[in-house]
Structure 1
Amino acid sequence: MSPVAAALERVRERIGAAAERAGRDPGDVTLVAVSKAHPVPLIREAIAAGQRDFGENRVQEAVAKYKELGTQVRWHFVGRLQRNKVRHLVGWVDLIHSLDRPELAAEIGNRVAATGVTQEVLAEVNVSGDQGRGGVTPEDLASLLESVASVPGVRVTGLMAMAPIVGSPEDARPYFRQAARLRDEAAMEFPELGIHHLSMGMSQDYEVAIEEGATLVRVGEAIFGHRSGRVRAEERVVGDVDSASNVRGR
């Protein structure tokens, strides 16, 4: 068994245990393996071990990997997205986790109109209170959802949230609980949207996130290991519109 396969097995076991502690069906939780800055051979190892959902947070890297791996996997874009990059994703990315403004929804709608596809997205909500992070405020979430509901070809299926950097996974619980409450309220207020997903939890806290209702967990380091210092340095130098500094899966 490869190191990646062994790591996946451990993560899946912990996902199952966390779901059972919460009285949930483990099958209701999707593991998104965040493969940003990791090479395609490692992704192939994960595919061989049965992993199908992968997350990327830089558009250029995501496109390159899609060209190599195609539709044999389900692709998630988990990074902050700017309007001028939308055209590179629409038509093949299965789920965009980071919709945070009406203008972005409108651009996605314009792009899907030419393809005839429906783009599934998650509305990103900022529950941490950190103004340096992306996401709409909880107070403005309903307004965002109302705007997106009127955009043809864009379907909001849930919310995405990130806890702030805290001392322990347990410290993230109140933030995950708030995100779950916001998801439930949005589902009731906008029944026509079919909101059900909740993307939250990363390598250090995904078990707590599952206990609080996550349906998608974004796990990178616990599967693929740490990224190299060289890659991290290159990301800081590039500093492009893909916003690699907005870490949404680790």
Structure 2
Amino acid sequence: MSIQQNLNNIKSQLPANVTLVAVSKTKPVTDLMEAYNAGQRIFGENKIQEMADKWEQMPKDIQWHMIGHVQTNKVKYMAPFVSLVHGVDSFKLLKEINKQAAKNNRVIDCLLQVFIAEEETKFGLDEKELEEILISEEFKELKNIKIVGLMGMATFTDNQTQIEKEFKNLKSIFDNLQNQPTTQNLQPTTLSMGMSGDYKLAISCGSTMVRIGSSIFGGR
């Protein structure tokens, strides 16, 4: 099937409140343009340099999402254009995004990445760290970022019960976050969880944003 057919097929199955991020990392601009011409406007990349190169070459109505692990020293390269940073896993990184956003006269939307998996390799904050950031005075002073929700990655396993448990755990953390008073830089509406293999389960557990790559563009 073509990229366009894959895209239409997936979109037809997504509820209206769920946003599709087409994960286009390692894919050539020609593939991305095929998805663009089929109506896709949100693309997710995991390397800042590759994302910046594609941003320069492609139409400017695209929203670029940084979905990979972010190194603080690379933030400046995406600060002029990035729409949403999914993997904010430390306060240090959040401060750097705020600093670079200010230099570009922007407010950059961010998701805080919560560690929900039973793997040591995944990045993210635990609930206590998440809470400590959000109640700190220093966080309240960040004027050039906005926390619009949470992101999490389930354990890489075939055990659907475990994945479901992790997704539901993240959803309950997200619900707690939504019950907190919103501020200028905390307006949580987005729960980003679910990828090609588990996005249907993620949606059933309350995800509002799914990151799908191989099911659109084919395997790596």
Name the structure 1 match of 2:142.
Answer: 151
Counterpart-to-counterpart distance in 1, 2:116 and 2:181: 20
Q: The residue matched to 1:191 in structure 2 has which SS?
A: coil
- Give the structure with the higher percent helix: 1
Amino acid at match of 1:138: E
* Alpha carbons of structure 1 residues 99 and 216: separation in structure 2 relative to 1, 3 Å: same
* Alpha carbons of structure 1 residues 145 and 129: separation in structure 2 relative to 1, 3 Å: farther
Name the structure 2 match of 1:201.
Answer: 194
8 Å CA contact 1:91, 1:119 repeated in 2: no
Counterpart-to-counterpart distance in 1, 2:97 and 2:44: 19
Amino acid at match of 1:126: F
Counterpart-to-counterpart distance in 2, 1:120 and 1:161: 16
Q: How many residue pairs end up in the alignment?
A: 216
8 Å CA contact 1:169, 1:204 repeated in 2: no
8 Å CA contact 1:34, 1:220 repeated in 2: yes
Alignment partner for residue 61 of structure 1, among 50, 53, 56? Answer: 50
Give CA-to-partner distance per residue, 1:136-158, whole Å, 9 cap, x none.
Answer: 01232111233434312110000
The 5 A counterparts of 1:67-146 are 67-146=56-135
Amino acid at match of 1:215: T
Gaps of 5+ in 1: 16-25, 228-250
Amino acid at match of 1:200: M
8 Å CA contact 1:100, 1:144 repeated in 2: no
Name the structure 2 match of 1:6.
Answer: 5
- Give the structure with the higher percent strand: 2
TM-score by length of 1: 0.83
TM-score by length of 2: 0.93
Amino acid at match of 1:47: Y
Identity of aligned residues (%): 34
Q: CA deviation at 1:49?
A: 0.8
Q: CA deviation at 1:58?
A: 0.5
Counterpart-to-counterpart distance in 2, 1:36 and 1:72: 19
Q: The residue matched to 2:188 in structure 1 has which SS?
A: coil
Name the structure 1 match of 2:166.
Answer: 175
Q: CA RMSD in A?
A: 1.4
Q: The residue matched to 2:155 in structure 1 has which SS?
A: coil
Q: The residue matched to 1:67 in structure 2 has which SS?
A: helix
